[in-house]
Structure 1
């Protein structure tokens, strides 16, 4: 399954919800969303600084990740970034593929 790193920052409204529900309430909500689309939460951490929440999740396909991203962003409670994570084998395969690329001016 494709794996994604999700970095999120709460809006003031989202922080108020976190204060009401607590971290375990938010984890339960995340688990419901991810498992509802056939995925799995590998890890979830709360942080402070530029990001408030950091997750590593598995989804059956990138479209599922996109669906979650759209729903979460539309809620107004969080601002998120999702980064696809690749395995060592996937990078090795990519390195073996021939790419016909000419740099600008080259």
Structure 2
């Protein structure tokens, strides 16, 4: 299954709700991800541009997109970005295939 790295930022209202009623959001993330057939591998909060990061897997990009749409539609996040992670083996395969692509740079 493909691996994904998601970065999220809560809205100020979400932080206010969590301050008033602290909860471990890992369980919610596990449940959400499992609902599309995926698995949560890690959940971290952070300082900086994003409030947290998740490492997870899902059966395919459509499942990942469904989860992202549902989360974004919920209004608790001000941003949600997901990066598809590739294994070293997949990247090596892509490099080998790139040598066979018939590509001409613009203007050449």
* TM-score normalised per structure 2: 0.90
CA separation in 2, counterparts of 1:20 and 1:28? Answer: 18
Please list the CA deviations of residues 16-70 of structure 1 after superposition, one character each: whole Å capped at 9, or x if unmatched: 233244351x111101001111111111100121110101100011111100111
- Segments of structure 2 that go 5 or more residues without pairing to the other structure are none
Taking only aligned residues, the RMSD between alpha carbons, in angstroms, comes to 1.3
Deviation per residue, 1:66-90 (Å, 9 max, x gap): 0011111111211100000000110
- Between stretches 94-103 and 81-90, larger displacement belongs to 94-103
Q: Which structure: greater helix fraction?
A: 1
Taking structure 1 as reference, are residues 77 and 68 closer, same or farther at Cα in structure 2, changes over 3 Å only? same
Residue 85 of structure 2 corresponds to residue 90 of structure 1: no
Q: Distance between the aligned counterparts of 1:61 and 1:20, measured in 2?
A: 36
User: What does residue range 93-104 of structure 1 map to in structure 2 within 5 Å?
Assistant: 93-97=93-97, 98-104=100-106
Please list every run of 5 or more consecutive structure 1 residues that lacks an aligned counterpart in the other structure.
none
TM-score normalised to structure 1 length: 0.91
Question: Which structure: larger Rg?
Answer: 2
Query: Once superposed, which parts of structure 1, at least 4 consecutive aligned residues long, lie more than 4 Å away?
Result: none
